[in-house]
Amino acid sequence: MKPVIFKNKRQDIFGILDMPKAKKEVPLVVFCHGWTGNHLGTWNSFFNQAAKGLVKEGFAVLRFDFRGSGDSDGIFEKQTTSSMLSDLNVVINQTVKKEGIDRNRVALIGHSQGAYIALLHAAKDKRVKALISWMGRISDYKDFVSKIWVEEAKRKGYIEAWAGYEVKYNPFIKDTFKYNSEKALSKLRIPFGLLYGKADDTVPISEGELAKRLTKGKAEIKILQNLTHDFTGKQGIQREVISITSKWLKRWL
């Protein structure tokens, strides 16, 4: 486990790179955390456990904080889809240059909002050979929330979220109108794994089912009975998530 620092627009992006012991170049897996998350993934640090599991299977794993989150520079209220896409591009560009990594075998794994960012990037980056969503938001923000909710954010300038966070109309919501997830899905030509939980009360399973339809059935979806949005549930549920993910990556990379 090695801390790494990336630079984007004179701001630091904090990350952790885990490398397996290998004599040849290995594929790179990049985790994209969700809204208000960080390189630990969730409050129970699921990204740590997942990274350990995937490293044992021979993958290099990068976890990082988008600017405005975790230990990276920046202000959360200034974070946008555009800034996160820029951060993801920077960390991939710099990490694939590191010794021991196969620059042409990259996989992205996004949790919650991170899956949306990963999808938009994967649709344009030929180095990305596989995409995995963990309870991911796949639809555009304007479709995920109500029209009235967006109009209220426009009127007030923000909407109060949870734990004291605010969603600003400008820059966050206004910036999201630049992007179209359906177009990204139509351009996707790589394997796409979608993992959802029936016990998740944050992102509905219909998000994954929509993505599968829009990719004309090319995406593979798995639904776990007791999986919650923060990877809790019945005993062994985290191992099950890691096992499914590892099997997908081995098959696709």
For 32-81, write each residue's pLDDT tens digit. 999 999 999 999 999 999 999 999 999 999 999 999 999 999 999 899 99
Which pLDDT value is given to residue 161?
Answer: 66
Rounded alpha-carbon distances, angstroms, from residue 23 to 20, 93, 138, 249: 10, 22, 37, 19
CA distance 211 to 203: 13
Confidence of residue 23 (pLDDT cuts 50, 70, 90): confident
What span, in angstroms and rounded, lies between the C-alpha atoms of 196 and 135?
A: 5
CA distance 63 to 9: 20
- Quick check: pTM over 0.75? yes
117: Cα separation from own chain's centroid? 6
pLDDT, tens digit, 9 for 90 and up, residues 186-205: 999 999 999 999 999 999 99
Q: How far apart are CA 136 and CA 117, in angstroms?
A: 10
% of the chain surpassing 90 pLDDT: 83
Q: CB atoms < 10 A from the CB of 103, how many? A: 15
Instruction: Kindly tell me if the per-residue pLDDT of 134 is higher than 80.
Output: yes
Domain boundaries, the chain: 2-140+180-252, 146-178
Picking from 117, 128, 138, 156, the residue whose alpha carbon sits closest to that of residue 37 is 117
Share of the chain above pLDDT 70, in %: 98
Q: How confident is the model at residue 217 (pLDDT cuts 50, 70, 90)?
A: confident
CA distance 46 to 78: 26
- Cα separation, 85 vs 117, in Å, equals 6
Q: List, in order, residues 6 or more apart from 91 with CB less than 8 Å away.
A: 6, 13, 15, 30, 62, 64
Domain at 2-140+180-252, CATH class: alpha beta
pLDDT of residue 190: 96
Both tokens of 70, joined, read 């975790």
